[in-house]
Amino acid sequence: PYYNQGYTEYCWATCFAMLFKYYKDPYYASVTPKVWEIAAYFGIGNEGLHALTFYMGSSVKSIVWANIGTEPERSIWLPVKSVTGLKKKLKNYICQDMPVMLFLKEHMVLVVGYEGDTFIIHDPSRGMYIRKSWDELFNETGHRVPITLAVPASPPDKVSLYTVNIPSGSKQDIRGLTFVYSENATVFRDNVARKMGSEIWFQWDGRKELGYYFASYRWWRDAANQSAEVKCIPDDSYLCLRVEIANADDSPATLIVKYKICASGGEGKYSDEMRVNVPARKVIQKIFNPVKVSKFGRNSSKFYLEVYLKSEDNDNYYIDAIYGVDINISHILQITDPAAKEDSMHHPGALAVQKLGFDTSDDIDIGIAEGRTDKVIYTSYCAKYIEGYDLQDIQPESEGEKELEQVYIYNLILIGTCRCYALPDDYVLEEYTDDLENYIRDMSANAFVVDPCSAISIVVEANDEVYFNDYSAREVIINMACEVQTADGIVTYQFRIDGLFWIHGMYLSGCITFECLTKVTEQPATPPNTHDVANEYWSLIESYV
């Protein structure tokens, strides 16, 4: 059987996976560990296995025993005996139907056959049944000390030679299991249409408990060089699955490959399958149609993916399978897409305002703004205006003259969440606080019936009053003076704007309170403390994630 290591350094783990698959009875071949699971067993990141660990490590002995039931034979070939002894030993193993893991200079391969002095190898990075002369193979050791591992056990009467694999993604090539924002710009079909950073990909990593994680680009400023873990997949994404199917048999095969999405309780939520013709001794890749994550349902946030491979001639058992790739979903879209006014109370912003004691039944403003910047896909917001008026008539106007003194006064609560293309970081918070001054100026210009504010002072403060302190957060306080021309001169109104932004997953959330500090004839109600709004808003979001 053959597996490919993809864009990883897991040649050694891939060779173990091929070896375990070879010795497994076909009826149980689907339960052999996958490459990322083997890497997790050793707890090794995307790097090679140390030669001494391979030769002497107890973990190697234990994993071979657990999967084959026999202790491995390991040998180190000193230079004085390498040329003659190693070649003879390899042939001896092959004659006993025992494939051999061969540790070269900086790579590991599986020796599966020989003809004369030509050896046949499965190379995890280059392909199956590669022929190399003895001199070529020995030269790849760099004339250093090669190490071999073989298992003195008999293979089953019929070896399962068909495999299915989910390749590991990388920044160089998004492959395997990937989530994208646009169905029409799937990463497998159209590189030109890809939006840098909008992909979330399946990444092998033995340092993780499960051997993998989901990664995405960091924020736009360094998107080409940085990636980081994504804990939850946004449910506005599309799942794109590309699998590798290998046929190591000498004859072509017709196979059925199927994948299924299940809820954490085992209930099937979505499935798809296809019939594939795989030429002899070839690896092919097949792509399933994209499916929107929200289609899995919103009663659960924990799902897992399974992939099955079976023969068209015998569908009574699976010849290979991938079990339990966990996918955690964030249902932010569910609560930020009000389909109708009567559904507005499902918006977490509206719920937060209501819990803080304000009636939201009539004048709540809810909506979704598309593409505020080229870094944000959309912004879902909720605004609550608490109006009042300065009704003091400083100087009566003649009939027909414009009322100079009347000024609309209000306080405002504004809360919302931005869905970002890439994983936001501290640069995002800095950018948003830098942008807030212009936003306030624009908002003020539209809010007053007179000229907008004439003076703004901004103080950026560290925030230590919000309980979600595991997340990056930034607070900006703006003191604004708005000068209003009246018949008797200029009247100055003082305002305080408190903005608090924080990052969670692929999202950036923010709360802004806008408060008039100047005493007026009819003072609007004072908005709640920004930290209270933020904490209430975040607790509601958490309940959906």
Domain regions of the chain by residue span: 11-156, 177-330, 333-542
Of residues 84, 99, 138, the one with CA closest to residue 16: 99
Of residues 130, 168, 137, the one with CA closest to residue 281: 130
**Distances in whole angstroms, Cα of residue 64 to Cα of each of 58, 67, 68, 137:** 10, 5, 6, 25
What was the pLDDT predicted at 373? 60
The CATH number fitting domain 177-330, selected from 2.60.40.10, 2.40.50.100, 3.30.70.260, 2.130.10.10? 2.60.40.10
pLDDT tens digits for the chain (545 residues)?
999 998 899 999 999 999 999 999 877 777 899 999 999 999 999 999 998 899 999 999 999 999 999 999 999 987 655 667 889 999 999 999 999 999 988 899 999 999 999 999 999 999 999 999 998 988 887 657 889 999 999 999 989 899 999 999 876 666 789 898 876 655 454 444 445 556 889 999 999 999 999 988 776 555 455 778 898 898 888 898 999 999 999 999 999 999 999 998 889 999 999 999 999 999 999 999 989 998 888 777 899 999 999 988 776 678 899 988 999 998 876 666 555 455 555 678 888 888 887 765 556 777 777 654 667 888 888 888 888 776 655 556 677 776 666 666 788 899 988 888 888 877 778 777 777 766 666 655 554 434 444 455 556 555 555 666 667 888 888 887 777 666 566 777 788 888 888 888 888 899 999 898 888 777 888 898 898 999 899 888 877 66
Distance CA 348, CA 181 (A): 22
CATH class for domain 11-156? alpha beta
What was the pLDDT predicted at 49? 92
pTM: 0.85
**Which is it for the CA torsion 444, 448, 452, 453, positive or negative?**
negative
Instruction: Write out the two tokens for 413.
Output: 């609560």
**Which positions ≥6 away from 191 have C-beta within 8 Å?**
none
What was the pLDDT predicted at 374? 63
